Amino acid sequence: MKNILVPIGSSKNAINTLQYAIDFAEGANVTIYVIKVYGVTKVASSMKNIDTVLEEDSNKELKAVLNEVDSKGVEIITKAIKGDVIDSIDRVSKQLHIDLIISSAKSISTDEKVYLGKITGGLIKHTDIPVLVIPKNYKFKKIKKILMAIKSGVISSTDVLTPLKIIINKYSTTLDLIRVITPSSSIENEELNNEVTSLITNTKTTENATIFQGVLEHIHESNPDLLCVIRRKRGFFKRLWEKERVYKKDFESRIPLLVLKGAS
């Protein structure tokens, strides 16, 4: 993992999220790119300099956030970018060969019923980059145990698991796996990828209506530092992020959530 992208929204959440990213990357040869996207404006000719003003304001925000964190020797590059938020982040991620996006669960939304705001939900839905979601005010701590919840053990590419393997190797992390059997599970789902098998410390099978219910049933027993799921093109998480915002009644994680990107 060489390149991490941290898109920022409100300054308060941005400081916490960036500090988490720095602490997460410390000790590795990683570059953190911090971007602030400002909107496209349609204004009269007499106000064409508004984009310049927005860019200057965004750069000031980036500088203010950077001044509030301890960089710990990690290389950090900041940039203000004009455009649509999701499209711009997706474009930059491809240009910079981003390995992981670290984002606040809610960058702007103040609705306490919302777990994932529109920006982070949109990143999970529309990009192919794995996303590490940081809860509000969550401080970094060494990742000693990961709880991974899956319905299907079929994984189309070993690249899907790369961020997970990097974390396990860096922190000597143990991995608890919950295999959730739902009413829609098939025989195919019972297969378990060899790469996953090689990473597992403990495994448990449970029957629940959804993966989220399986997580709720066993998360306190496992007491993990990180929750990991795979967002596939169909299934529970595909449906979950259809409207981009995710409400706490449907899904919530009070610890960092790593969303890997599966193809099937």
Distance CA 76, CA 32 (A): 5
54: pLDDT strictly greater than 90: no
How far apart CA 9 and CA 101 sit, in angstroms, is 14
Residues 175-211 have pLDDT tens digits of 999 988 877 776 656 667 788 888 999 989 888 887 7
Residue 90 per-residue DSSP state: H
Q: What is the pTM of this model?
A: 0.88
Longest dimension (CA), the chain: 65
Residue type at position 190: E
| Cβ proximity of 173 and 147 under 8 Å | no
Residue type, 6: V
Average pLDDT rounded to a whole number, residues 238-253:
71
Residues of the chain with CATH 3.40.50.620: 3-134, 145-261
Determine the average pLDDT of the residues in 101-115: 77
pLDDT one-digit tens code per residue, 156-178: 676 889 999 999 999 999 999 99
For residue 234, is pLDDT > 90?
A: no
Note whether 84 and 40 are within 8 A (CB). Answer: yes
* Average pLDDT taken over every residue of the chain: 84
Closest listed residue to residue 31, CA positions, set 49, 62, 6: 6
What average pLDDT does this structure show over 75-81?
A: 95
Per-residue pLDDT at 52: 82
CATH number of 3-134: 3.40.50.620
CATH domain 145-261 topology:
Rossmann fold (3.40.50)
pLDDT at 17: 94
